[in-house]
Amino acid sequence: MQPFDIGWTTAFTGAAVGFGGLLLLYAVGFMGAGDVKFAAALGLWVGLSALLPIWIVGSILAGVHSTLFLALQRWPVFPRLSLMLLGRTRAAASDNGSAAPRRRRLVVPYAAYLALATAAWMVWGRQS
């Protein structure tokens, strides 16, 4: 039995839209394949009608997180704290063999934001 009492056609349509929508972003290189598979499974689980609000809230959460990330990078107060929150440096070998510190790129899977938005939808969105 499906946990949200939706039919199979609605569930499979949600899975197809979730997979197809993010597959285009994967093909361009904006996200990973795990995000595409998560969106397909999410569409299968919640159906098509809940998928769009979850995508919108997940995108807003990702935007807020990236804005905070950029603000903390330029934060003049407590620079060590902002460095700790943003990530560590790692040594990368250069051409002459010496190790030079290099910033690691911060990657947060979009599936994490979708999961948070889905949890919020499960708590507040289904109470109507």
DSSP 31: S
pTM score: 0.74
pLDDT at 5: 78
pLDDT at 92: 44
pLDDT at 70: 78
Dist CA 47 CA 12 (whole Å) = 7
Mean pLDDT of 12-40: 94
Phi, psi of 99 (to 5 degrees): -90, 120
CA dihedral for 39, 41, 47, 50, sign (positive or negative): negative
